[in-house]
Structures are given as structure tokens and as C-alpha cells.
Amino acid sequence: MTRAVYPGTFDPCTNGHLDIIRRAARQFDEVIVGVLRNSAKTPLFSTEERVNILREVTRDIPNIVVKSFHGLSVDFVKECDAQVIVRGLRAITDFEYELQMAQTNRVMAPGIDTMFLITSLEYAYLSSTTVKEVAAFGADLSKFVPPYVAELMQEKLKNRK
Ligand code: ADP
């Protein structure tokens, strides 16, 4: 069984993430989306909320499992008995960081490979950070995130005001 882990913060999951998830699901028997409990960042959505969002928006993809984790991605990958880390590459700016991460992970865990999926053109500009920025001004989010996420973001930001 081929199993991959797609790790990230997903605060929140965007159409770009979802595109990578769908495409990875076609390449592996199972894809585990790993939601990082990151104490260094203050996320808009809690880890549990991010996990629930991802479960909801991937309901129609049978070979997706969503779990949270903390610590090193390679340890989580081993725990999951997976062989591959999937990451999305948007622009050249992602490349340097991703290359460094992939090489560091390979030194720590030579049996685990990182595979990059190049972003679909229509999502190349999209990041969770910019979506949060425009959401704060009440913009229409329908082109950026699934409708369920747009609704939750609007609710969350309303409660913050
Ligand atoms: P991290 O904080 O680990 O970078 P993110 O949740 O921002 O987590 O992203 C997780 C992964 O998804 C990364 O590999 C990132 O490059 C990729 N990604 C983010 N946005 C997009 C997008 N619009 N298209 C393709 N890949 C993306």
C-alpha cells in the first residue's frame, strides 16, 4: 500500500490546498493530511477546527485521512507508516525553503522522499495568509476557499469585531 503524508498548517484550507489533496489522492492508495499543531504561530482556527474543516471539505475523497500532529514531519510520517511527504510548490519563493526542508528531512529519514506537486495555474497566487487578509475586510472569498470555509471565516471574523 502506498501511503503519503501532506503536512501543513492549513489555517485555513484553501482551494490551492484542496487541489493538491485531490491530485495526491490519485497518486497514492492513501493520503494522510497532517495538520500541524504549531505553537510558534497563532492560528485563526484552532487545530481541532482545522482538522474538522479538512474532514468536511474532503468528505467526497475516499482515500483521505485527516490527523493532527506536533513535532517533526518525518516522525509523523514514520508513525503513519508512510513513505512519502507531499508538498505543493507555488512560486520560486517556495522553492528555496521547500528544498531546504526536503533535504533536511532526507538526512533525518533517508527512507522518506518528498514529492512536489506544482500548483495548478489558477491557484498559483493563493495563500492562507492573503485569504485571511482580504477576509478581514469582508471581501468575497468564494474564489479562494470552499464555501464551507468562507462561511466559517466570516463568522469567526464577525465574532472578533
Ligand atoms: P506551511 O505553513 O507548512 O507552509 P501551509 O498550510 O501554508 O503550511 O501549506 C502547506 C503546503 O501546501 C505547502 O507545501 C504549501 O507550499 C502548499 N500550498 C499552499 N498554498 C498552495 C497553493 N495555492 N497551491 C499549491 N500548494 C499550496
Whole-angstrom CA distances from 71 to 34, 37, 138 are: 11, 8, 34
pTM of the predicted model over 0.85 = yes
- DSSP H or E run through 6: strand 3-8
- Shortest-distance Cα residue to atom 10 of ligand 1: 8
Query: Mean pLDDT, to the nearest integer, of 128-151?
Result: 95
Residues 33 and 62 sit within 8 Å (Cβ to Cβ): no
What residue ranges line ligand 1, CB within 6 angstroms? 8-10, 14, 16-17, 20, 87-88, 90, 94, 119, 123, 126-128
Atom of ligand 1 nearest to the CA of 118: 25
- Grid coordinates representing 24 are 495526491
pLDDT for 161 equals 63
- Shortest-distance Cα residue to atom 17 of ligand 1: 88
- Shortest-distance Cα residue to atom 27 of ligand 1: 88
Q: Could you tell me the distance, in angstroms and rounded to a whole number, from the CA of residue 88 to the centre of ligand 1?
A: 6
**Per-residue pLDDT tens for 110-128?**
999 999 999 999 999 999 9
Within 8 A by CB and 6+ apart from 68, the residues are 34, 35, 36, 37, 47, 48, 50, 51
C-alpha span between 155 and 94 (Å, rounded): 31
Catalytic positions, please? 17, 41, 90, 128
Query: Mean pLDDT, to the nearest integer, of 82-102?
Result: 94
Domain boundaries, the chain: 3-160
Q: How many CA atoms lie within 13 A of 47 on its CB side?
A: 15
**Per-residue pLDDT tens for 27-56?**
999 999 999 998 767 899 999 999 999 999
Q: Could you tell me the distance, in angstroms and rounded to a whole number, from the CA of residue 8 to the centre of ligand 1?
A: 6
Class in CATH terms, 3-160: alpha beta
Q: For residue 22, which of 149, 143, 146, 130 has the smallest C-alpha distance?
A: 146
